[in-house]
Amino acid sequence: MNTQTKLTSHNRKPKILVARAIFPEALAKLKASFEVISNQADQVLTPQALQKALGEVEGALVTGSERIDAAALAHAKNLKIVANISVGYNNFDVPAITAAGIMASNTPDVLTDTTADFGFALLMATARRITESERWVRDGKWAQWSIVHNPLGMDLHHSTIGILGMGRIGQGIAKRALGFGMNVIYHNRSRLSVEDEKACGATYVSKEELLRLADHLVLVLPYTAQNHHTIGAPEIALMKPTATLINIARGGIVDDAALAQALQAGKIFAAGLDVFEGEPTVHPELLKCSNIVIAPHIGSGTEKTRRAMVDLAIENLRAALQGKRPPSLINTEVFKA
C-alpha cells in the first residue's frame, strides 16, 4: 500500500444514510464529515432498499416512515446508530435493534411546544367547525348571516378537557388549556407528581371517567401494541354526544372505522385527526364525514422545529460515531463508554 492510499484509507469518512429529504444546509454539513447516501428524492425506501442501504453504513438518519426491525438490520454489520427524526419511535423494534448491538435515538423536547400548539389549533378548529365553515363558504352556501343556520360549534372556555397520555406534550396542552379557563382532567399509565399536577392544574381520573367527563378528549399517548385501538366503539360509546375527539398521537390508537361510524351516527360531535391507521391513506368513511378536521401528520410541522429535530438527530448520530453517548439515546444498555 503506498503512502497516498494509506492516507486516503486513514482519512476515510464514515458512511451514513439519510433516509429522507432534509434541509440542504444540514445535508451539506453532513457531507463535510461523512460519505452520505441520501434519499433527497424523498420517496420512502422499499424495505429491500432500506435493508441494502443499512448494510453499507455506520449511521442512519431515519423517520417514522422507515420500519427498523430485524429484517431491516439483516446485513447491518457496521451500523452503530439509527437516529430517528421523531420523538415517537414505534417504527423501531427496540429489542431487535438492541439485540443487534445498535444504538437507537429519538428527538424529544425540541418539538413539545410546537406539537402542543398544534394540538390546541386542531382542537379549536374542530370544536368551532372552522374547516367545515370554510368549505361551506367556498361552496357558495353563505347566503346571509343567521343566528341558527350558520355552522355552530362547541365552546372550549370553561369546558372540560380530557387528556389521555400525560407526557411532555400532554402537559403542554394542559398548560394551554388553563389559559382558556378549562377544567383539566387526565389519565396516564402513571400518575404525575403532585408538583407536576399542580403546574398543569390537572386532576387524575380513571380512563372510564375521562371518557365520560371530557367535553374535548385529546390523545397524546405513544403507540404500542397495548395501545392499539385504545379508542374503539366501546370507548366512544362512553363519550358525550357533544364531545370532540382529537388525535395527535399515532394512527392505530383509534379504530378509524369505528370512529367514522360514530361520527356518521352523531355519537360524538366531531373529530380532529392528524394521524391515521395506514397513513397516508385515510379511511374512506372518515373522508365522507363533514364533522372532521383532517391534517397530514403535521403536529411538529414548523420549519424551526423540523430543523431542530434534524439537528438533534444529527447530534445523536455524530456522538455515536465518535464513541460518545448520544444525548437522546433510547436503548442506553447498548452504549459502552
Active site residue 216: no
Pick the piece of the chain touching ligand 8YV (CB under 6 A) from 84-92, 127-135, 137-145, 255-263: 84-92
CA–CA distance from 289 to each of 91, 158, 189, 265, 266 (Å)? 29, 27, 32, 10, 10
For the bound state, the minimum distance from the C-beta of residue 88 to ligand 8YV, rounded and expressed in Å, comes to 3
CB atoms within 10 A of CB 222: 15
**325 belongs to the catalytic site:** no
87 near ligand 8YV (CB under 6 A): yes
Cα 250 to Cα 21, 89, 96, 256: the distances in Å are 22, 10, 22, 11
Round to whole Å and give the CA distance between 28 and 107: 21
Residues 37-76 that bind ligand 8YV (CB under 6 A): 63-64
Catalytic hit among 279, 283, 306, 318: 279
Determine the residue type at 34: F
Question: Least distance to ligand 8YV from the beta carbon of 169, Å?
Answer: 9
The crossing angle, in degrees rounded to 10, of helices 168-178 and 112-127 is 50
* Residue 300 makes contact with ligand 8YV by CB under 6 A: yes
Residue 64 near residue 86, CB atoms below 8 Å: yes
Q: Are 241 and 268 in contact (CB under 8 A)?
A: yes
Q: Is 250 a catalytic residue?
A: yes
- State the minimum distance, in angstroms, from the CB of residue 155 to ligand 8YV: 29
Asked if 299 touches ligand 8YV (CB under 6 A), the answer is yes
Instruction: Note whether 167 binds ligand 8YV by CB under 6 A.
Output: no
Asked if 302 touches ligand 8YV (CB under 6 A), the answer is no
Q: Which residues bind ligand 8YV (CB under 6 A)?
A: 63-64, 85-88, 111, 299-300
The residues annotated with a catalytic role in the active site are: 250, 279, 297
